[in-house]
Amino acid sequence: MIARQWKGRTPAAKADKYVGILKRTGVKALRATEGNRGVWVFRRIHDDIAEFTLISLWDSFDAIRRFAGEETGKAVYYPEDDACLLEKEPEVVHFEVVVDESGAGAARS
């Protein structure tokens, strides 16, 4: 199983609005892609900035390609993101899941 991590930042005042955008766009598209095992969105508000981390779990890089295209390390954005994001990180990071105690399936140690 593979974890895909994306990070983004918005002004704190737009944090709730961005959660709604994420749910309607990226989270919905991720969950609709064959081979996706789940999506988690984390938010931390510090001073006037909301920091977001989105983790999605995948069966394989073939599954990630169905969502992201051939350049699996490239971040995927939607037009609605421009209303909130302070910048657009061009890349995401992938991790091999070596322990999964969530019950979501795959590797056990």
Q: What pLDDT sits at residue 102?
A: 79
Q: Does a structural domain hold residue 102?
A: no
Looking up residue 22, the CATH number of its domain turns out to be 3.30.70.100
Q: Does a structural domain hold residue 22?
A: yes
pTM of the model: 0.90
- CA distance linking residue 27 with residue 30, whole number of Å: 5
Q: Does a structural domain hold residue 105?
A: no
More confident site: 22 or 108: 22
Q: How many domains does the chain have?
A: 1
Full domain range(s) for residue 36: 2-96
Confidence of residue 101 (pLDDT cuts 50, 70, 90): confident
Q: Does a structural domain hold residue 35?
A: yes
Q: Does a structural domain hold residue 109?
A: no
How far lies 18's CA from each of 39, 70, 95, in Å?
A: 16, 27, 25
Give residue-wise pLDDT tens across range 60-100. 999 999 999 999 999 999 999 999 999 999 999 999 999 98
Interior/surface letters 33-57, b for 16+ CB within 10 angstroms, e for the rest: eebbbebebebeeeeeebebebebb
Is-contact 50 18, C-beta < 8 A? yes
Q: What pLDDT sits at residue 105?
A: 54
Q: Does a structural domain hold residue 107?
A: no
